[in-house]
Amino acid sequence: MKKWFIGILRKFHLMKSVDFLRYGLHYIKSKHNHRTENLPPSYFIYETYQLDYDKYLKDGKDTALWLRDYFAKYLTVNNIMAEENKKKTILDWGCGPGRVIRNMPELMPDFDIYGADYNEKYIDWNKQHIQNVKFYKNNLTPPLPFKEESFDIIYAISVFTHLSEENHFAWSQELLRVLKKGGIIFLTLHGDAFKDKLLKKELQLYDAGKLVVRDSNKEGHRTFAAFQPEKFVRQMFIGNEIVLHEKAKRKSQQDVWIIRKS
Ligand SMILES: C[S@@+](CC[C@H](N)C(=O)[O-])C[C@H]1O[C@@H](n2cnc3c(N)ncnc32)[C@H](O)[C@@H]1O
């Protein structure tokens, strides 16, 4: 959709209604797709990904494999992997209806696996359909229901991309609180590959290193969008080590960030 048209929808708070109509169209189209049994309700898939059942399953598995490679590389460097006889812990924060985490018990058998999301419906569905993962609901704002230094790894795929500036700072501190010293946070964020989607004023803010937030819809929902320039992300995690910032190689792909707790 054209940028100016989206701007008008946002201005008049119509984005969520139009998004729901869009879901209806996608749902009609998806009727021809193959839907297997252990899949979440169609709206959950649309809300957190895109309404294509085969792609949802395949991409979820591919993403889990992709994450495992990063974890092996960056956690080994830190020697946490070398600690013997101790089960490691991993948290998928903003796990949605389980697209990625459903693959983790099989792919990461040496880990205790946890998932959290603020959407109670996803968490209820996950508890009933995904085995060998502990699921928790959190609120839109911190805290998480875990003690300090609980996790070796925390990952959040496209979660900060739906939060306000206040919550960027609150949640980065909260993730650091529940992360072990030396542990890693893996994030995907809206970086330079999304610059062509920004309006002129937004682009000026972004280029000045400021967070851009489109907040005319409900925070946390897919229609609430935040764009994170490099300078801003470094401020969020100041005092910790940025071990990787991998810029997206193509348009509309998110940047990868890995932060190690100092
Ligand atoms: C784009 S979806 C991505 C879902 C999942 N990470 C994936 O890759 O399939 C964004 C997710 O972030 C969750 N979310 C948004 N704000 C949150 C918050 N404050 N705490 C926990 N989860 C949140 C939403 O409920 C949703 O599941």
The whole-number pLDDT of residue 104 equals 98
- Whole-number average pLDDT of the chain: 91
The whole-number pLDDT of residue 244 equals 98
Q: Read off the tokens for 108.
A: 């990461």
Tokens 């935040």 locate to 226
The whole-number pLDDT of residue 203 equals 97
Q: Is the pLDDT of residue 81 over 60?
A: no
Q: pLDDT category, 32, cuts 50, 70, 90? A: low
The whole-number pLDDT of residue 87 equals 83
117 CA from centroid of ligand 1 (Å): 6
Tell which one of 52, 118, 174, 215 to mutate to probe ligand 1, the residue whose CB is within 8 A of the most ligand atoms: 118
Q: Is the pLDDT of residue 83 over 70?
A: no
Mean pLDDT within 145-162: 97
Q: In terms of DSSP H, where are the helices of the chain?
A: 3-11, 15-30, 42-48, 53-77, 104-107, 120-129, 165-178, 200-207, 230-236
Domains of the chain: 55-260 (3.40.50.150)
Rounded CA separation 118/96 (Å): 9
Looking at ligand 1, which atom is closest to the CA of residue 92? Answer: 6
71 CA from centroid of ligand 1 (Å): 20
* CA distances, 165 to each of 168, 241, 250 (Å): 5, 21, 26
Q: Is the pLDDT of residue 23 over 60?
A: yes
Contact 155, 90 (CB under 8 A): yes
Q: Is the pLDDT of residue 20 over 90?
A: no
Looking at ligand 1, which atom is closest to the CA of residue 119? Answer: 25
pLDDT digits (tens, 9 = 90+) for 132-144: 999 999 999 999 9
pLDDT digits (tens, 9 = 90+) for 217-249: 899 998 899 999 999 999 999 999 999 999 999
For residue 143, cis peptide bond before it (omega within 30 degrees of 0):
yes
The whole-number pLDDT of residue 84 equals 58
**167 CB contacts (<8 Å, ≥6 apart)?**
140, 141, 219
The whole-number pLDDT of residue 85 equals 62
Looking at ligand 1, which atom is closest to the CA of residue 97? Answer: 27
Tell which one of 117, 136, 166 to mutate to probe ligand 1, the residue whose CB is within 8 A of the most ligand atoms: 117
Q: Report the share of the chain in percent with pLDDT over 90.
A: 76
Contact 230, 245 (CB under 8 A): yes
Long-range contacts of 15-24 (CB under 8 A, 24+ apart): 15/216, 15/217, 15/223, 16/217, 16/218, 16/221, 16/223, 19/222, 19/223, 23/47, 23/51
Mean pLDDT within 67-92: 79
Q: Is the pLDDT of residue 78 over 80?
A: no
Tokens 């974890």 locate to 71
pLDDT digits (tens, 9 = 90+) for 159-213: 999 999 999 999 999 999 999 999 999 999 999 999 999 999 999 999 999 999 9
Long-range contacts of 140-147 (CB under 8 A, 24+ apart): 140/167, 140/219, 140/220, 141/167, 141/170, 142/170, 142/171, 142/173, 142/174, 143/174, 143/177, 144/93, 144/116, 144/174, 144/178, 145/116, 146/91, 146/114, 146/178, 147/178
Backbone Cα Rg of the chain: 18
Contact 155, 96 (CB under 8 A): no
